[in-house]
């Protein structure tokens, strides 16, 4: 089963890459862009007995390794 | 006096640490590969700088799960002395042995130059050989040295005087305030609440040998050695 994990900075945590991209977009003339946040997108193929099981496993490994709870949050998406 | 220096895949300051401890100071060093599961009998552990696992995922995130880290964590929990330098500091934060996290430098640039630091607390295992408030100069070399923590933890760190080193300069084009990476409160190094685990971004091991420059980093290793000697004297009584 394919599981997608999206890791983003917590609100309030400075994202210097996002800020730099934001500035570049504004320089290009996109004045309507309010904010840019850059995160991580991770695809995981795993064996699971059900969608709930896949979701539970993905959440467990995200919590343990893929996201650092001090600075990041994650969400799990199933196909 | 026996130090363990751990080598992770991608560590690149392990040999510098070994040279400082063994070559310059004459201590015994056990260089331990990350796949090993035991530290053996050592007095202190050094997690050196570098780019363990290529900094993939997050700096230090994957090294935290290396086999040797269970032994390092157990050693720290028993009160063993653990020093994490640069990538070692990042690994200690990822492992939860120190609070907070180290994120991308404010400038988004790899910074590699000497910085001045104030020794904020000389009553720790790691700093007894310095004077309170002493200014020392050490090199830094990192992309992810921007220390970050929540306001409550930050105020605890400050109140308990666990900020051991703070950046004081120099003022540069990419660091007008003298803070090279944007760390909150210009934090360069912290200890855990028990005081036996230190993480710091600057490299004391690169400032130990008079033949290649400054020696301001010696004080950290000498402080650790002295506290080990004192501990064994207490135990012998």
Cβ atoms within 10 Å, residue B174: 13
Residue B185's pLDDT is what?
Answer: 98
Reported as a single tens digit per residue, the pLDDT across B106-139 is: 888 999 999 999 999 999 999 999 999 999 999 9
User: What confidence score (pLDDT) does residue A14 get?
Assistant: 82
Catalytic residue among B13, B34, B64, B86: B86
pLDDT at B182: 95
Q: A47-67 pLDDT, tens per residue?
A: 999 999 999 999 999 999 999
Contact B32, B46 (CB under 8 A): no
- Find chain B residues with C-beta within 8 A of A65's C-beta: 57, 61-62, 65
Q: Is residue B141 within 8 Å of B111, Cβ to Cβ?
A: yes
Residue A41: strand pairing partners? A6
Domain of A62? Answer: 2-78
Give me B121's structure tokens. 């607390």
Band of residue B233 on the pLDDT scale cut at 50, 70, 90? confident
Q: What pLDDT band is residue A15 in, cutting at 50, 70 and 90?
A: confident
Q: Which residues of B touch A14 (CB under 8 A)?
A: 103, 106, 146, 148, 182
Nearest to B83 by CA among B193, B231, B204, B214: B204
Of chain B residues 82-101, which have a CB less than 8 A from chain A?
93-94, 99-101
CA–CA distance, B136 with B16 (Å, rounded to integer): 19
* pLDDT at B194 (0 to 100): 98
CATH number of the domain bearing residue A23: 3.30.1280.10
pLDDT one-digit tens code per residue, B154-210: 999 999 999 999 999 999 988 899 999 999 999 999 999 999 999 999 999 999 999
- Our count of domains for chain A comes to 1
Contact B105 A16 (CB under 8 A): yes
Give the closest of A16, A17, A68 to B61, CB-based. A68
Q: In terms of DSSP bridges, do strands B187-191 and A72-78 run parallel, antiparallel, or are they unpaired?
A: unpaired
Measured in angstroms, the CA of B110 and the nearest CA of chain A are apart by 13
CATH of B2-236 among 3.40.50.9100, 3.90.230.10, 3.40.50.880, 3.30.750.24: 3.40.50.880
Q: Out of B64, B120, B203, B208, which one is annotated catalytic?
A: B203
Q: Is the pLDDT of residue B75 over 80?
A: yes
- Measured in degrees and rounded to the nearest 5, phi and psi for residue B220 equal -65, -50
**How many whole angstroms separate alpha carbon B204 and alpha carbon B164?**
14
Question: Which of B63, B95, B103 is the best mutation test for A, with the most CBs of A within 10 A?
Answer: B103
* Sequence-separated (6 or more) residues with CB below 8 Å from residue B102: B59, B60, B89, B90, B93, B144, B145, B146, B147, B148, B201
pLDDT for B3-59, tens place per residue? Answer: 999 999 999 999 999 999 999 999 999 999 999 999 999 999 999 999 999 999 999
């Amino acid at each position: 089963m394919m599981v997608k994990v999206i890791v983003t900075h917590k609100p309030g945590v400075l994202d210097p890459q996002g800020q730099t991209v934001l500035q570049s977009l504004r320089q290009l003339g996109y004045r309507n862009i309010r904010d840019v946040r850059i995160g991580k997108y991770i695809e995981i193929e795993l064996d699971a007995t059900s969608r709930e099981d896949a979701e539970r496993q993905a959440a467990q490994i995200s919590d343990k390794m893929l996201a650092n709870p001090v600075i990041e949050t994650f969400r799990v998406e199933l196909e | 006096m026996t130090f363990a220096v751990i080598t992770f895949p991608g560590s690149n300051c392990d040999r510098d640490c070994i040279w400082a401890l063994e070559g310059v100071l004459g201590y015994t060093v056990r260089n331990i590969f990350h796949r090993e599961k035991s530290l053996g009998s050592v007095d202190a552990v050094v997690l050196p700088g570098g780019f363990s696992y290529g900094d993939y995922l997050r700096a230090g995130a994957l090294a935290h799960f290396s086999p040797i880290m269970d032994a390092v964590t157990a050693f720290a929990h028993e009160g063993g002395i653990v020093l994490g330098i640069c990538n070692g500091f990042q690994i200690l934060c990822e492992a939860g042995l120190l609070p907070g996290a180290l994120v991308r430098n404010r400038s988004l640039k790899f910074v590699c130059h000497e910085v001045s630091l104030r020794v904020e607390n000389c009553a720790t295992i790691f700093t007894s050989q310095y004077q309170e408030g002493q200014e020392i100069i050490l090199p830094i070399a990192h992309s992810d040295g921007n220390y970050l923590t929540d306001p409550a933890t930050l105020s605890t760190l400050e109140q308990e005087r666990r900020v051991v080193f703070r950046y004081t300069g120099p003022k540069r084009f990419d660091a007008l305030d003298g803070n090279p990476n944007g760390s909150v409160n210009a934090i360069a190094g912290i200890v855990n609440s028990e005081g036996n685990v230190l993480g710091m971004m600057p490299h004391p091991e690169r400032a130990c040998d008079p033949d290649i420059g400054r020696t301001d980093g010696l004080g950290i290793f000498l402080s650790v050695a002295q506290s080990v000697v004192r501990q064994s004297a207490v135990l012998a009584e």
